[in-house]
Amino acid sequence: MRAVENYANIELSKIEAWSRRNKIKFNDKKSKVMLVTRRKQKEHKDFTLYLHSKPLEQVHQMKYLGLILDQKFKFQEHIKYTTERCAKLTHNLSRVARLTWGLGYGTIATIYEGAILPLLSYGAPVWIEAMKYQHNRRKLKRVQRLINLRMARAFRTTSGDALCILTGMKPIIIKIEETVKQHEFKERQPHREVYLDHVVEYRIWPHPATAVTIKEIETPEESTISAYTGGSKSEEGVGAGAVLYYGSNTIASLKLKLGDRCSNNQAELLAIYKALEMINSLNKDRFKSTNSRHIYREQSRD
């Protein structure tokens, strides 16, 4: 430890000399020292570093860019701080959200998604590893349970899972994991505009009256245009394909390569969607006598 202390003081003296040359002065009162280690071995961990010939205060945790960093980077104190802060906000909110009067479901949901959830998930890609410990997960679930009780106006004995169903809120652990995966996906493609799946508001859903009638058949019937689709996921990747037949002649085909994060069901649905697009783009004059279209989907067997 003494060797580490000596090397650190040498480097600090270089930094101090550089700051003098560039007319910059570091505040020694705001500067702190923290030893970062995961060694379980008990040893002397107190050491003294100097800046402007003044000893710096040694701490066991510090706040940096909104994250509370501890000596072992376990982020327990950060999770404890954010959950206690959000729980206090929730208790203050309960004063104006009683069982028979006060803020309604929509208002509380907006407050949760716009204020409480960003606080809980801030910096999640950094401390996501702390979620493998149950005591950290319980702290986050406890906060969501408090806000869900206010939204659902339910009894305190209602389970957390039931409250998520009643309020329509995604469980906090799943939401944080989703946020981290979205961040990792964007980081892998830094120079591309990434479009992620999102919820479509019901008011812009297509009207049922304009939907095409789809009939599922068990036995093959005679048709003028037939489409065969399939999707699969294996160790080699995810793929989908579609082939169009006019009678016994192939008129169009398509093969697609999907991302590894896509599922087998997504590949099959995309194949059907692309087959419908190909059918819709056919030359109407050439196939003007066409009056029926059949789609045959590949069925997986165990």
CA distance to 14, 16, 30, 49, 163, per residue, from 21 (Å)? 11, 9, 21, 21, 61
Distance separating alpha carbons of residues 4 and 57, to the nearest angstrom: 17
Query: Of 14-28, 34-48, 110-124, which range is least confident?
Result: 34-48
The pLDDT tens digits for 158-168 are: 888 899 988 88
Q: What is the DSSP letter of 115?
A: I
Q: Is pLDDT at 301 greater than 50 in this prediction?
A: no
The pLDDT tens digits for 66-89 are: 899 988 889 999 999 999 999 988
Distance separating alpha carbons of residues 280 and 123, to the nearest angstrom: 46
Distance separating alpha carbons of residues 125 and 113, to the nearest angstrom: 19
Q: What does the pLDDT read at residue 302?
A: 39
Lookup result for tokens 């830094």: 190
For residue 275, what are the contacts with CB-CB under 8 A and spacing of at least 6?
227, 229, 242, 244, 254, 295
56: its two tokens: 């710096």
Q: How many residues does the chain have?
A: 302
Lookup result for tokens 């649905």: 269
Q: Is pLDDT at 25 greater than 90 in this prediction?
A: no
Instruction: Delimit the domains of the chain by residue range.
Output: 2-59, 69-188, 213-297
Q: What does the pLDDT read at residue 100?
A: 63
94 vs 193, higher pLDDT: 94
Q: Where does the pLDDT of residue 8 fall: very low under 50, low under 70, confident under 90, or very high at 90 and above?
A: confident
The distance from CA 93 to its chain's CA centroid, rounded to whole angstroms, is 26
Q: What are the φ and ψ backbone dihedral angles of 85, each rounded to 5 degrees?
A: -65, -45
- Fold of the domain spanning 213-297: Nucleotidyltransferase; domain 5 (3.30.420)
Mean predicted confidence (pLDDT) in 2-12: 85
Lookup result for tokens 């069925």: 299
* Mean pLDDT taken over the chain: 82
12: its two tokens: 């600090």
The pLDDT tens digits for 175-223 are: 999 889 888 887 877 666 656 666 667 677 777 777 666 666 665 555 5
Q: Compute how many other C-beta atoms are within 10 angstroms of the C-beta atom of residue 12.
A: 18
90: its two tokens: 């929730």
Nearest C-alpha neighbor of 146 from the set 166, 125, 160, 131: 160
Q: What are the φ and ψ backbone dihedral angles of 227, each rounded to 5 degrees?
A: -120, 130
Cβ atoms of 168 and 156 closer than 8 Å? no
